Every structure is written in structure tokens, then in C-alpha cells.
């Protein structure tokens, strides 16, 4: 599959960078997987909702610059539907068969802008719980690896 994991901010922790690097290396045998980061904007201290929305909008504009009109965009959102690993594998297979690049978007600590959510072809939640956006990269890449293993008919622990 041809996929881009598009994220706000950079990873600060070595273990997170190592885990993402490991999964990206494993995924190369299944297709072209890339990870692109856009800068995270500083959160306004005591600035209120209006300033927070400005930060989200600016991050959203940076994210949208990396999305092509033909991309199938999956926005990771807390308030969205969930799917099993097997269902994700089916979706990955379908996007690959359609020849579309799948772009998985992970927002920053304040979330995704309305513009990014509106551009998404699919909004996906991994859990009703909130995860740090840096950790979501690791979780997403692991699930994409699992999906590729499922589609290849290879064994992967449950």
C-alpha cells in the first residue's frame, strides 16, 4: 500500500522514535509507507478557546498542504467510529486496490481542525479513551503492520 502518516509535532522520546522506526521498517515489505511531521504550535497559556482554535486552525492548514486531492484521508478522532483490526485490513486492501494513497492524520494535543475533519474520507477512533498524540503514531503503525500481515495471510499474535 502507498500510505502517509501525517502528524503534528515531533517525537521527543527515544522509545517512541525507535518504535515508529521499527514499524516503518517492517512495513516497507508491504508498500511505500512514509511519516511526515508538521510543526506543533505552542499552546496558549490561559488564552482560552478562541486562541486554542487559532492554534488548531494553523496546524490544520499545515497538514492540508501535504494532502492531495486524490488521497483517501483517514482522520484519527476521538469522536468517531471504531473498527476491528480485521476491518482495518479489509479497508487497507480496498484502498490499495483502488490505487489511492491513504493518508492517516494525527492532530496535536488540541486535536484536529474542522477543515481537516471535513477533508477526511473517514474519521476513525481507536478508543473512547484519549491517548497522547505521540503514542498514537506507534499504535497506528502497529495496527497498519497488523493489517498488512492479515492481508498477506501471515501469522500475527492476537
CATH number at residue 13: 3.40.1280.10
The pLDDT of residue 157? 66
CA distance 100 to 70: 7
The pLDDT of residue 56? 93
Query: Is residue 158 a part of any domain in this protein?
Result: no
How many alpha carbons lie under 13 Å from residue 11 in its C-beta half-sphere?
Answer: 19
Query: Is residue 77 a part of any domain in this protein?
Result: yes
Q: Give the number of domains in the chain.
A: 1
The tens digit of pLDDT for each residue in 23-61 reads 999 999 999 999 999 999 887 777 788 888 899 999 999
The tens digit of pLDDT for each residue in 73-84 reads 999 998 899 999
Query: Is residue 156 a part of any domain in this protein?
Result: no
The pLDDT of residue 52? 86
19: left (phi over 0), alpha (psi -120 to 50) or beta: alpha
Question: Domain span at residue 86?
Answer: 2-151
* Helix ranges, the chain (H): 14-27, 48-64, 85-98, 114-119, 133-151
pTM of the complete model: 0.93
Amino acid at each position: 500500500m502507498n500510505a502517509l502518516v501525517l502528524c503534528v509535532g515531533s517525537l521527543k522520546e527515544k522509545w517512541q522514535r525507535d518504535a515508529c522506526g521499527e514499524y516503518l521498517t517492517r512495513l516497507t515489505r508491504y508498500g511505500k509507507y512514509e511519516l511526515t511531521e508538521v510543526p506543533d504550535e505552542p499552546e496558549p497559556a490561559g488564552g482560552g478557546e478562541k486562541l486554542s482554535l487559532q492554534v488548531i486552525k494553523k496546524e490544520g492548514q499545515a497538514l492540508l498542504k501535504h494532502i492531495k486531492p486524490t488521497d483517501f484521508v483517514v482522520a484519527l478522532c476521538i469522536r468517531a467510529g471504531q473498527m476491528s483490526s480485521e476491518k482495518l485490513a479489509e479497508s487497507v486492501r480496498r484502498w490499495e486496490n483502488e490505487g489511492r494513497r491513504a493518508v492517516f492524520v494525527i492532530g496535536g494535543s488540541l486535536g484536529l481542525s474542522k477543515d481537516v475533519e471535513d477533508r477526511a474520507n473517514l474519521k476513525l477512533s481507536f478508543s473512547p479513551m484519549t491517548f497522547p498524540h505521540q503514542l498514537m503514531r506507534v499504535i497506528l503503525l502497529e495496527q497498519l503492520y497488523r493489517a498488512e500481515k492479515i492481508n498477506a495471510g501471515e501469522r500475527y499474535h492476537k
